[in-house]
Amino acid sequence: MGRQVFHGDPCHRRRRRQRTGQRLRDACLVPLRKRPRLALARRSHPRCAQGALRAAAVSDAQRLLLGCDFSSSPTPRKPIVLALGSASGGRVVLDRLQALPTLAAFGQWLVEPRSWTGGFDIPFGLPRELLTQLGWPLTWRESMAHYAAMSRADIRSAFAAFCDARPVGGKFAHRATDRPAGSSPSMKWVNPPVAYMLHAGVPLLLEAGVHLPGLHAGDALDVDIAGQPRRVALEAYPGLLARELIGSRSYKSDDKSKQTPERLIARKDIITALEHGQTRLALRIKLTHAQRDALTAHASGDSLDAVLCLVQAAWAQQQGAPLDGLPADMDPLEGWIVTA
């Protein structure tokens, strides 16, 4: 006579749990053992693969965006400013502003494990004409290594000698992107010292293994489920977007005597235009009242410049890999300013 089973019998309860657990595992709803393995169990089940890919796509669409107003000599009073946010459809949301008072802090931020697309107000290359004339390497990686090994004094001497040998009105060499972007030549060492910004910033991006579309492949292991780079850096220029919104009006100054009501109004006009999406980029930014007030009040314009770079990064992310909106025929030695 077989063993009679009661609902309270321990063996019966154990067999019932086993059958229930197997059904749930077949439906990829529970792990084989411990709860922390849930995600792994789901991904490993054939019927869950498509769902995992959909989840990854959603995550990638909401990846972190950043705009960086860079300084080659940051201080607590004049830090590097990051505008961090996200984009969905045609809306860019500013999450927060972050100040980095040292180059070391900037370098540390770059290597932290996260996925992002960033627009950096840093020139990513030197003019081909300049490199050819000076006899420097004519591939991007080698030219940056050569440049990074120089001191600022050596850079200034080399560039000054180059300019001294040229006629008035044509002292500086320009990159192809300078004209459409309206940007200063990347060899300029004063007002603004963009040559030093390149010298300080690009080596940190390279050390961090960041991907620079069209110029340099990042860390081969730092990729997402689709095999795309997790950290993507693009050269941005806030002045390009600002001029589209308010023309040639000045909106910022580090000189307190020049922090005028007219510049404050210009900042307000930029912010209003960004919020209403009055730009060819077809993007509008979402700000809180506190964020709007802070961007308006920051007379040096560093925070607003970071936000302008954030919007340019959002546009680049919309364009997608492999070039993120950069032209296919851009010079791989000089680089290109995104949205130019």
The three-point CA angle 280-83-337 to 5° equals: 45
In the three-class reduction of DSSP (H, G, I as helix; E, B as strand; rest coil), residue 50 is classed as helix
Percent of the chain that is helix, strand, coil (3-state, to 5): 45, 15, 40
**pTM of the predicted protein model:** 0.82
Other Cβ atoms closer than 10 A to 51: 13
Q: What pLDDT, on a 0 to 100 scale, did the predictor assign at position 287?
A: 98
Beta-carbon count within 10 A of 189 CB: 18
Going 30 to 35 to 39 to 45, the CA torsion angle's sign is negative
Q: Is 181:337 a contact under the CB 8 Å cutoff?
A: yes
Per-residue pLDDT of the chain (340 residues; tens, 9 = 90+): 444 444 445 454 455 555 544 443 433 333 333 333 333 333 334 344 344 333 344 344 569 999 999 999 999 999 999 999 999 989 999 999 999 999 999 999 999 999 999 999 999 999 999 999 999 999 999 999 999 999 999 999 999 999 999 999 999 999 999 999 999 999 999 999 999 999 999 999 999 999 999 999 999 999 999 999 999 999 999 999 999 999 999 999 999 999 999 999 999 999 999 999 999 999 999 999 999 999 999 999 999 999 999 999 999 999 999 999 999 999 999 999 999 9
| Predicted local distance difference test score (pLDDT) of residue 7 | 45
- DSSP E strands, the chain: 64-69, 80-88, 91-100, 116-120, 231-235, 284-286
Q: What is the pLDDT of residue 14?
A: 52
CA torsion, ordered 53, 58, 281, 286, to nearest 10 deg: -170
Domains of the chain, residue spans: 19-55
**One-letter amino acid for residue 291 of the chain:** Q
